[in-house]
A and B are shown apart, each in its own frame.
Chain A
């Protein structure tokens, strides 16, 4: 069976990226060779990069252009071998410059190198600066670029910043002020790779391109919403970073909150970046922890302990390399929120994320209110509520659960599922989130990037929790849970109080 649909090839009407130079700071790091360069090569293979394109890698290491090219080829491995002639062309646009953003002379040398590349590759002075560096360098990095005049032209220069953007509400505010003093907000692209996922974007299309969903997408028809992002992996080699963030900062404040925003936002007047971001910001400003005064009533933290099979035992978090003994960093969080607006008043939003859970998956589950009168018995006891399950990853798609008549002479109901699967309908894997987001950043399209007020509103939601963890951590204890289980029992109790259960995917 052919792997791709031959009639599909070349049909997508993709927008054209203008000639430009993408500058990656932190080019010797993990993200560059694992995500960014593969994403750029994918764009090249899809003919979406202009011929006047250059990638300038920058880091403190004293690499040459050739070393950088070689390292990237090694990192891409089989992909390069399978597309050797394309790689030959692509690699001609790869350059490297040793730069320490703290050193003014390095930044001035960078400016000169960029001019040379403009001449060499006809990139017309259009530049996208990608800060794939430690978050502590974001502010100074932007300042250095600004002082060298590299952000002077708001139409030709952009800065892409990775998460985390701040550690809490006040640090995010300060960072926003600092970054905005270096350039206009329209030049700042705060990346959240969850927004690059087709399935997250599909929530917008599902809601706003169909007339059947939007009329029932509110408190009158929906009784609760669950948003889950589960990982099977542990902390792996990221203990150093994870110890300073934990699940709340690493996943909830950004990825889960963005999913919440897209699920709960009002329809924008038109498909325009600012119209969409306005609606997202508004819904985040209306979101609150279910009990801000006593957050321990609506939030559960957990930490994985050892587990796994006898043959393949898994370490507990405390035993992982790089983790501080006695660490109280959470690897699991579950919480209940409300969105206090006309549409969602009284509808609980349950968010959970964790490491070392039994399955890797992300999903949004909308549970609809029960029928007002149960006319029919169910073959499984109580008739179940209708559910719309939006599967973000893996097995991307959507599923709708509803009751039908069970075959037989009686009139009993039973639940069935109507399913849409990306794989079965489209048969091709969707692009990695970075492919979409890098292209959008270079196109100057900020729709899928978070604006300063969104970031601040997201931090503000969790401020009561962060303050509590800081000041009175004993009030928000860390519950241990065995690796490869669905989190601590206390998390189930959080929903049991509302006579609900987490969906077991």
Chain B
């Protein structure tokens, strides 16, 4: 479905007048209702890559903040044109940095914040506030306001909302943040979706991520150490945090759980001796989260970690029965990587009892788009072999965000809360 535009043409009004305008809009406004009683979503939407691609004329506008195929294709073309390694993910900041050096001054309409994806609008958010920093750092703050109604089949007038866009250079946005408290009704849950790299604007992130706010981040975007430390910090601080990188692991978690659903295989979970995880490129976070989830579910204890050449990480765990599990996280350079850095391409789990080798079980899960020959090699001929393909997550980021908005209970998923500290420990102790 195509994204929806707002019901009204956005009005540009001074920041100080926005609260009174919105109050007036919902008291006796043109659409005659009091607005949805749902939630507010605050979005950090820098879209640096899209802005640079538009500026240099590599894609046409308007700027929307979404990731259509044309944007991905243009980014891949930059990788080729600028002789970047072919394994560079298309949303990597290196591409943006390359484009910064290029000539171009094409300006296009900027519709960030006014382009509401259907998956989000059908949840009837009460207010969407988009922070849209521009490339020109000195650009003054523009504030836009509009009402909108979801266009779903069962839409009704009682569930309309509004959008507010704060657009301008980074400094002017920072200055404009003072109106935020007045724009976020206290009686509604509010969310912050950090739709950007976790390495940038960290002060702003902390300012927006107030303790009562539910957070949506993507730990595949940013330095692994930053991403894991932030995730761990928020989990420990008991703040509701949702990670899109974790969400994209769901088909791997589900596929692995399915292998052990039949009761006769359950015992094998107590005899796991090795776990190999292959990830795309050198971003280890998703692989670590998968290993950490398994470790937390099976009560394994981290024993030691190390870094070897060719491996992102090596670790050993102690099982509750004292047995040892070895973990290897391998970086696989791929030529046409997905837009999500560090996506898992395969995993192998071996379960064996020391004394009865012939009863061993080998589970190999492979991504549908990658081969897993490396995992298939290595003396498993005498084992019971289970091989499954795992579907790639091809949902748009907006759909994933909508899924989180819809399913969250206002707290961090207990599974993520249990896995995040283990993932963080694995990474930090191996990178001392």
**Interface residue stretch chosen among A5-13, A80-88, A281-289, A434-442:** A5-13
> Contact mask B270-305 → A, CB, 8 Å, 1/0?
100000000000000000000000100110000000
With a cutoff of 8 Å between Cβ atoms, the chain B residues found around residue A5 in the complex are 257, 260-261, 266, 269
Report B243-275 residues with CB < 8 Å from chain A CB. Answer: 250, 253-254, 256-257, 260-264, 266-267, 269-270
In the complex, the chain B residue whose C-beta lies closest to that of A17 is B409
Judge whether B306 is part of the interface by a CB distance below 8 angstroms.
no
With a cutoff of 8 Å between Cβ atoms, the chain B residues found around residue A2 in the complex are 266-267, 269-270
In the complex, the chain A residue whose C-beta lies closest to that of B267 is A1
In the complex, the chain A residue whose C-beta lies closest to that of B416 is A10
Judge whether B322 is part of the interface by a CB distance below 8 angstroms.
no
Judge whether A16 is part of the interface by a CB distance below 8 angstroms.
yes
Bound form: Cα–Cα A6–B263 in Å = 11
Q: Tell me the count of chain B residues lying within 8 A, CB to CB, of chain A.
A: 27
Judge whether B387 is part of the interface by a CB distance below 8 angstroms.
no
- B260/A8 in contact, CB under 8 A: yes
- B414/A1 in contact, CB under 8 A: no
With a cutoff of 8 Å between Cβ atoms, the chain A residues found around residue B261 in the complex are 5, 8, 425-428
Judge whether B207 is part of the interface by a CB distance below 8 angstroms.
no
Choose one: A8, A10, A50, A427; the contact of B414 (CB below 8 Å). Answer: A10
Judge whether A472 is part of the interface by a CB distance below 8 angstroms.
no
Whether A15 touches B407, Cβ cut-off 8 Å, given contacts A6-B269, A7-B257, A424-B263, is: yes
What's the least CB distance linking B185 to chain A, in Å?
14
Judge whether A47 is part of the interface by a CB distance below 8 angstroms.
yes
- A10/B415 in contact, CB under 8 A: yes
- B263/A8 in contact, CB under 8 A: no
Judge whether B413 is part of the interface by a CB distance below 8 angstroms.
yes
- A50/B266 in contact, CB under 8 A: no
With a cutoff of 8 Å between Cβ atoms, the chain B residues found around residue A9 in the complex are 297, 415
Judge whether B408 is part of the interface by a CB distance below 8 angstroms.
yes
- A50/B409 in contact, CB under 8 A: yes
| Chain A interfacial positions (CB closer than 8 Å to B) | 1-2, 5-11, 13-16, 47, 50, 124, 155, 423-428
Judge whether B406 is part of the interface by a CB distance below 8 angstroms.
yes
Bound form: Cα–Cα A486–B414 in Å = 50
With a cutoff of 8 Å between Cβ atoms, the chain B residues found around residue A11 in the complex are 250, 253-254, 257, 415
- Ordered by A's residue number, 11 sampled pairs between the chains whose C-beta atoms are within 8 Å are A1-B263, A5-B261, A6-B298, A7-B257, A7-B297, A7-B298, A10-B413, A10-B414, A11-B257, A424-B262, A425-B262
- B409/A13 in contact, CB under 8 A: no
Bound form: Cα–Cα A15–B403 in Å = 10
With a cutoff of 8 Å between Cβ atoms, the chain B residues found around residue A6 in the complex are 269, 297-298
Closest 9 CB pairs of A and B: A427-B263, A7-B257, A8-B257, A6-B297, A10-B415, A2-B266, A5-B260, A426-B261, A1-B266
Bound form: Cα–Cα A50–B409 in Å = 7
- A7/B263 in contact, CB under 8 A: no
In the complex, the chain A residue whose C-beta lies closest to that of B156 is A155
Which of B267, B407, B409, B413 is the most central at the interface, judged by chain A CB atoms within 10 Å of its CB?
Answer: B409
Bound form: Cα–Cα A5–B261 in Å = 6
Bound form: Cα–Cα A13–B254 in Å = 11
- B413/A7 in contact, CB under 8 A: no
| Chain B interfacial positions (CB closer than 8 Å to A) | 37, 158, 250, 253-254, 256-257, 260-264, 266-267, 269-270, 294, 297-298, 403, 406-409, 413-415
With a cutoff of 8 Å between Cβ atoms, the chain A residues found around residue B250 in the complex are 11, 13
Bound form: Cα–Cα A428–B257 in Å = 13
Choose one: A16, A124, A425, A426; the contact of B408 (CB below 8 Å). Answer: A16
With a cutoff of 8 Å between Cβ atoms, the chain B residues found around residue A423 in the complex are 263
- A7/B260 in contact, CB under 8 A: yes
What's the least CB distance linking A126 to chain B, in Å?
11
In the complex, the chain A residue whose C-beta lies closest to that of B153 is A272
- B253/A47 in contact, CB under 8 A: no
In the complex, the chain B residue whose C-beta lies closest to that of A272 is B153
- B269/A427 in contact, CB under 8 A: no
- A16/B409 in contact, CB under 8 A: yes
What's the least CB distance linking A347 to chain B, in Å?
35
Not counting A6-B269, A8-B257, a sample of 8 additional A-B residue pairs whose C-beta atoms are within 8 angstroms of each other reads: A1-B266, A7-B294, A7-B297, A9-B415, A11-B253, A13-B250, A424-B264, A426-B261
In the complex, the chain A residue whose C-beta lies closest to that of B269 is A6
Bound form: Cα–Cα A89–B188 in Å = 24
With a cutoff of 8 Å between Cβ atoms, the chain B residues found around residue A424 in the complex are 262-264
Choose one: B253, B264, B403; the contact of A7 (CB below 8 Å). Answer: B253
With a cutoff of 8 Å between Cβ atoms, the chain B residues found around residue A155 in the complex are 158
With a cutoff of 8 Å between Cβ atoms, the chain A residues found around residue B294 in the complex are 7
With a cutoff of 8 Å between Cβ atoms, the chain A residues found around residue B263 in the complex are 1, 423-424, 427
- A427/B409 in contact, CB under 8 A: no
Which of A5, A7, A424, A427 is the most central at the interface, judged by chain B CB atoms within 10 Å of its CB?
Answer: A7
Bound form: Cα–Cα A7–B388 in Å = 16
In the complex, the chain A residue whose C-beta lies closest to that of B413 is A10
Bound form: Cα–Cα A16–B406 in Å = 7
Bound form: Cα–Cα A11–B294 in Å = 13
- B407/A427 in contact, CB under 8 A: no
Which of A1, A47, A426 is the most central at the interface, judged by chain B CB atoms within 10 Å of its CB?
Answer: A1
What's the least CB distance linking B409 to chain A, in Å?
6
With a cutoff of 8 Å between Cβ atoms, the chain A residues found around residue B262 in the complex are 424-427
With a cutoff of 8 Å between Cβ atoms, the chain B residues found around residue A7 in the complex are 253, 256-257, 260, 269, 294, 297-298
- A13/B407 in contact, CB under 8 A: yes
Bound form: Cα–Cα A426–B413 in Å = 23
Which of B263, B269, B294, B413 is the most central at the interface, judged by chain A CB atoms within 10 Å of its CB?
Answer: B263
- B414/A16 in contact, CB under 8 A: no
With a cutoff of 8 Å between Cβ atoms, the chain A residues found around residue B269 in the complex are 2, 5-7
Bound form: Cα–Cα A428–B413 in Å = 22
With a cutoff of 8 Å between Cβ atoms, the chain A residues found around residue B403 in the complex are 13
What's the least CB distance linking A446 to chain B, in Å?
13
With a cutoff of 8 Å between Cβ atoms, the chain A residues found around residue B409 in the complex are 16, 47, 50
What's the least CB distance linking A349 to chain B, in Å?
34
With a cutoff of 8 Å between Cβ atoms, the chain A residues found around residue B253 in the complex are 7, 11
Bound form: Cα–Cα A346–B158 in Å = 50
With a cutoff of 8 Å between Cβ atoms, the chain A residues found around residue B415 in the complex are 9-11
What's the least CB distance linking B312 to chain A, in Å?
23
With a cutoff of 8 Å between Cβ atoms, the chain B residues found around residue A124 in the complex are 37
What's the least CB distance linking A261 to chain B, in Å?
24
